[in-house]
Structure 1
Amino acid sequence: MLLLKNRGEHREENDRIIRSLQERKKDKGLLEMKVHGKDSLVTYEIYDKSGIMVYETMPLDELSNDRMMIVQTVVIMFLACLIFGLLLSARITKQIKKPIDRLTAHIETIAAGNFIRDDSIEGEDEIGRVGCVVNDMALRIKELMDQQLKAEKEKGDLELKMLQAQINPHFLYNTLDSIRWIAVIQKNSGIVKMVTALSGLLKNMTKGFNEKVTLKKELEFLNDYVTIEKVKYVELFDLEIQVDDPGLYEAKVIKLTLQPLVENAIFNGIEPKGRHGIIKIRASRQEDMLVLTVRDNGVGIPKERLKTLLENTEKVKGNSMSGIGLPNVDRRIKLNYGESYSLMVDSTEGKFTEITVTMPLEF
């Protein structure tokens, strides 16, 4: 039994097609042949159980039209995808470029010296997090610059105060020299000794307060000061100096570091006690640091005053020889070496006061 399915109505043509398909002796397949005078493509299949053959013919010209339609469809879809991709890419690029442009503009603003915070560059995405870091960096730079400006201003103010405290050195040197020669002529060794010490003291003071000198020079300067104070206080105190390593004599220190500490020991420690005292100075080395300590066995410092001793850099005693109090010594150390270096004061009321200075070891 044969089931015939085609587009023509001529039985002879159908029989010819069937014979041709049967001659192939294949259960199914694809065959190109002429059907009703047209080049056609015939597909067929013979079912085993029923023996029925089913075939279909398709003119090649129609198939070509379908193929063209498929190609056109594929091309249209490709172009549509391409256009969509370009539009999507442009949109994504714009979304990414806009915050990057804002970030770049803000960095240029920071480079120009304007360290304001810009909240528009911050966000939850990667670029936004970079913006947060840039804002934090700008604020940190501003803080550091403000600290630097403040430190420079304080340093300048301190130097100005030192300059204002100086007197005409040449006039004073000439006067002291005249007094010394009069004392020499009159054979008064006490006056000669005191005037010589005072002359050396003032000469060193007028050369600059932030100059660095060797520890040996600083101790010589201190010796001139102590010579004068011993005459003034009639041997009220003794000074003991201990240098752990002779090589430390060549270490660099800021001039007028020890004198204000000894002056404080005399005025606030030994003198109020009313009897003989001892001031001990020690220079030692701790790794890469120079440590100077000044200790007296005077009246000590009350605990409540000890906490605020180094806070006020403005008030300096009128009878101070150098015009530099303990707070200003502490500030000079920090200005020259950084905030990690400073004075440390330890005291027990009625027993002792010990001031420690740490600074980098320099030669």
Structure 2
Amino acid sequence: MKRLLALLATTSLMFLAGCQAQQKPDITVTSFIGYDIAHAIVGDKMVVENIMPWGSEMHNFEPSARNITAIKDSKLFIFVGEDQEPWVKTLGTQDHALDLSKSYELAAHNHAHSENHEDTDHQHDEAAHTHEEETKTHETTEHDHSHEKDHSHEGHEHDHGSLHYWTDPTTYVQLIESVKKEIIKVDPTNATYYETQASAYSTRITTMHTDFDQYMQSQDHPTVYFSGHNAMDAFADRYHLKIVSLTQDYRPNADLTAQQILSLKTSLKDAQATTLFIEELVEPRVAKSIQDSLRQDNIEIEIKELHGYHNISHDQFKAHVTYADLMHQNIENLKHAINH
């Protein structure tokens, strides 16, 4: 009898697990960014599915037939933008879709912080925040990403100069608000819960942003060095931080030249920098090569991660790592680099 009961219990658990695995998602997203925001808001009220595998490269993702079905059957579809995900265009018009790239307006910058700074790479005015230098390098993209502010959504103008707009925390809190509104449309019954969840998450990110912004205002326009593709431009703009990157290309697997590697090594050496940053989910072979080469010159540098939030590993997903967690990690790593 005990063996029979044990068998029945095991069968029931397997049945329940199978049902959960086959449960259709209420919200389908294409990235860690979409997942992080939606999951933070809905908790266990709805099922959120990220169709991009954890640990995979965001820029090269192509959806499967199952993914397409999940998108069309879900109540809400959240994607990063057609510039990053050109395959979205093949879906046609989706009434339940939210394009995050059109769901924010660039927040005002602290212009006083950059006054009398002769080396700044960016010019600011009251209406726009341009950074033409980085966009000239995006020759492989299908669109011109210059800041002409000729895109609009629901009567508002948006700044689309950065492909990695989500790295700016002030933008991220706006994305939280936009996603929350769409979720409430889908499930108005739990509106109060969603409002509370969204507010708490926004507050956490805003608090870190405010503290770090104040810290950066006390610094003399620091420069850090990044052995990766140019993914943190929006973040750097927000805090008036200069990031010297290995390549300006937006693709992490872009071909590198010996001259690019030598240039970054020389910059590190000339600046007497002690930290070299690497991007997430990419084997840091180049960074380690530079580190070893500098060591031969009796120069020691640390290698630390500067996370661009493109994706997280499967282990990080299981550990419930969030954008806020990664933002905190980035801030601590940057402070370490600036202070040493």
**TM-score under structure 2 normalisation?**
0.25
Taking CA–CA contacts closer than 8 Å with sequence separation of 6 or more, which of the two structures ends up with the larger relative contact order?
Answer: 2
**TM-score under structure 1 normalisation?**
0.24
Query: Greater strand percent: which structure?
Result: 1
